[in-house]
Structure 1
């Protein structure tokens, strides 16, 4: 029987970890897998998706023996590197409806609203201190080309009776952000920011308290399928009745999944604390902010006054072979610093103390996929979070729990389950060469449109080829 090979992890050096992880000195607290062990459900990946799946399984079937195998430590991947933005799926309701239909889309969007309230409850109860601040999520335009990016989502929300967004004018945005770069947009009020690494480590503590076994520093090298799949690490073998693959971009190594998944990088920087300047310009709350350029820009201020400023770079690797460039770029955050100074010229003298990167697992529809491998009904996967996961992963956990436990319910029947109706991406080397060309076109288009200049026809054509 053929084994399923997974790629060795590319663990970030401590100096290359995100500001979020370094600021709380995050690291492993559980021991690696040693020798032989067994469980009912093995989960590969100790980030948001894996931990929420483990917790949902325990909620529904408390006697289930769940073991999580994490290559580095929980939260060291995308869950501890992202921009810390929390918003519902209502911003993508138009894309969801196109894929799964209106009723299903509305259920998923409402579930993310419930997930935000669940996060709020976890913080209010003292269960997880995640620095959650529900001060709003602003989706804005800083050029004419970006105007109205939200129109379809807003119109559809209105049609289904969900008034999730309010319009923002220039004065509103200036008052909220202290920046004149963006001048029109919308806000989702019950949204905001978290310290993402604190959330990930809080979920680890919660999982351990529920009796979930976690082995960190235990990268899975291969899986031997069968009635009782075997997961082999450098130090041991775990036998399980069922397996969940929740390893983010690393799932691109699996041939069956690779045609539907592509990996890009996102880069983030963090400034030195500068609360005095931020208060002077009026940026005082915990709102999350995006602008609508193709390589999306996203930012927030921390409670201590650091500015977190991220941008999708579109960086890629041949055959999605993730290497050290996906932990930290070689330009010391130059692109992001340039954009930071465009949006906040007041911060030109403020030092940037941290820069880091991370791989993002993307699908052509920019929506996740859940299911099981074609020839292995007891090996499940959750992939394609597209950089949006804090309010979405709790919902993913519900879907995965229903699939793993064999439930026939709205979650197992979700339109996000199944790979058949998803767009296949081109094979290599066409995928890599085409992505490089399209990435450069998008960068040219972004840079011109920010200046309210029209890209040439070839640039516009190439940029439209992006999934």
Structure 2
């Protein structure tokens, strides 16, 4: 598989769309809002702004193609923050935690409604998710958060009966499971490209192949690309994992970590026999989770987070190549689905996830500039949450604050970074030590062996950030 090959989802989306080659931005421009980054967050922000005020001149700059970054190459699992309720409550208090959980569940259905309204064919299926245990050590891990969700009236999870677990999840590997209806799956690159089309129909100016080279604060702010200068009253930085390449102050607030995926050739008959011809996503109880789902054309996608960590948060060339973890991913897929042993792997790919210290995104004003805002740190859980991020950023730059904007402007995520990783080389060395301890711990658990105490202690260091990367 050549290194220049596009990630699977984007190649599929572009083959269906057949777009014209991108035209970079040229010349001098004056706009109301300049959004840097044409992924989920940037496009949702642009759409929210134009829907609220069609007269605004909104311009989006994208370095490559919309969908070429993390937004178009993730696993496409539409998940919520309900499983993170305890972390949300500890950080923000009960009221804000409940609002964020409900908003993340609402986001799943808002995205589905938007796609239906605007005829975006993104293979979106809101058919729920299964959170499962694949070893005895993972059993019961969700119980503390379930008890709190039940106490506060937020619980949407249902226990899957043992007799139904294999049919619900498609695999006999699972020992226990929970189901929530507020989730599903989507072809992420098709969704990005659909948002691009709708944004342009609303009057948003989107220029691909137009990387930001320089940002100068002021009123107006000044954004420079290789062939253009944009003066904007407001600027939104929606670069996610690329933020560290431009702004040193974010290099310790996130860590770039890979999520790696494989997908099979179409095998609809075999998937139907496994009862996998549906849109549910399944996530196991590992720290660096396995996640899988089917596609409408009968493929099976499986991914795993937490494989590569970037030293000094440099964007690794491996993030744009087929996964170097093809062999272990294929082994995991065959373990979950031995009946698919003879179905060939069609492709593998990789993407960079911007993990924050607490596993949640953060938003704020860049260098305290009132007219420049940013958002990043989705930590591998951002397909649905980027709809919320677009709402936050749109509310932060809107001139007239509507009543419905206040909850987004004032939400607890508008805090700037809530913690920092150690400086290099300690961050990278620490990440390697913890990652390898987690691998040894979970291998022992899979095999039913005792876990050494030091691996248990080291693995706990990853718990604060929650599960990675879907």
Give TM-score, length-normalised by structure 1.
Answer: 0.93
2:408 equivalent to 1:411: yes
* Aligned ranges 1:28-427 → 2 under 5 Å: 29=20, 30-253=22-245, 254-329=247-322, 331=324, 333-405=326-398, 407=401, 409-419=406-416, 422-427=418-423
CA distance in 1, matches of 2:45, 2:7: 24
CA offsets per residue over residues 351-401 of structure 1, 9 Å max, x none? 111100000001111000011123422221110011111221111111111
CA distance in 2, matches of 1:332, 1:101: 39
CA distance in 1, matches of 2:397, 2:262: 38
How far off its partner does 1:332 sit? 5.7
SS at match of 1:314: strand
Select which of 7, 10, 23 maps to 1:18: 7
SS at match of 1:299: strand
CA offsets per residue over residues 434-460 of structure 1, 9 Å max, x none? 112211112212222222322212222
2:445 equivalent to 1:453: no
CA distance in 2, matches of 1:119, 1:398: 13
SS at match of 1:358: strand
Give structure 1 stretches of 5+ with no counterpart.
Answer: 1-11
Q: Calculate the aligned-residue CA RMSD, in Å.
A: 1.8
Q: Which moved more, 1:76-85 or 1:221-230?
A: 221-230
How far off its partner does 1:126 sit? 4.7
CA offsets per residue over residues 38-70 of structure 1, 9 Å max, x none? 211111110111111111112223222111100
Give structure 2 stretches of 5+ with no counterpart.
Answer: 466-470
Alpha-carbon distance change, 45 to 286 in structure 1, aligned in 2, over 3 angstroms: same
CA offsets per residue over residues 319-344 of structure 1, 9 Å max, x none? 11012111225636112111111111
| Alpha carbons 1:28, 1:216 under 8 Å: kept | no
Match of residue 443 from structure 1: 439
| Alpha carbons 1:14, 1:22 under 8 Å: kept | no
CA distance in 2, matches of 1:428, 1:195: 36
How far off its partner does 1:131 sit? 1.2
Q: Which moved more, 1:235-244 or 1:296-305?
A: 235-244
Q: Which moved more, 1:452-461 or 1:215-224?
A: 452-461
| Alpha carbons 2:259, 2:351 under 8 Å: kept | yes
Give TM-score, length-normalised by structure 2.
Answer: 0.92
SS at match of 2:304: strand
| Alpha carbons 2:357, 2:421 under 8 Å: kept | yes
SS at match of 1:174: helix
